[in-house]
Amino acid sequence: MKFFIDNWFLFVTAIVSGGLLLWPSLTRGGGSKVNAAQAVQLINREKAVLIDVCEPDEYAAGHAAGAKNVPLGKLEGSTELPKNKALPLVILCQTGARSARAAGILKKLGFERPVVLAGGLAAWREANLPVEKASS
């Protein structure tokens, strides 16, 4: 006990550093990452739904063909999401940054298989997959 009292700062430092190491994995959100080819396989084989979490103006400027636009801030109250929560959802945004947060929210909403498109729309375009623009 005397050792603990004399060296309390070492124990506090160890606990804080351990917490800092664990923090990213605890806050990462839900969902694994897939590349564009894996996303296409999910869409073709398992009827995955593409969900674009960009803002409407970003979505209108260009989005993956067939993607539904559900902005990140409106995910929780959206009626655009599939009723079948067992379907895989491929989540994407411009770069992939918002997608991880969206996947975490979707997990909390009960969706079983949200996956993030690594690299977002940029990776989709790089793979030469179809991109649409919203018609006026």
Tokens at residue 20, please? 């800092």
pTM for the full predicted model: 0.75
- Per residue in 13-36, pLDDT (tens digit) is 988 888 777 765 555 544 589 999
* DSSP E strands, 2-53: 32-34, 49-52
Q: Domain spans of the chain?
A: 29-132
Beta bridge mates, 92: 52
Q: What are the phi and psi torsion angles at 5 (to 5°)? A: -65, -40
Q: Are 99 and 93 in contact (CB under 8 A)?
A: yes
- Per residue in 31-75, pLDDT (tens digit) is 589 999 999 999 999 999 999 999 999 999 999 999 999 999 999
- Per residue in 74-96, pLDDT (tens digit) is 999 899 999 999 999 999 999 88
How many helices (H) does the chain have, and how many strands (E)? 6, 7
- Per residue in 115-127, pLDDT (tens digit) is 999 999 999 999 9
CATH topology of domain 29-132: Oxidized Rhodanese; domain 1 (3.40.250)
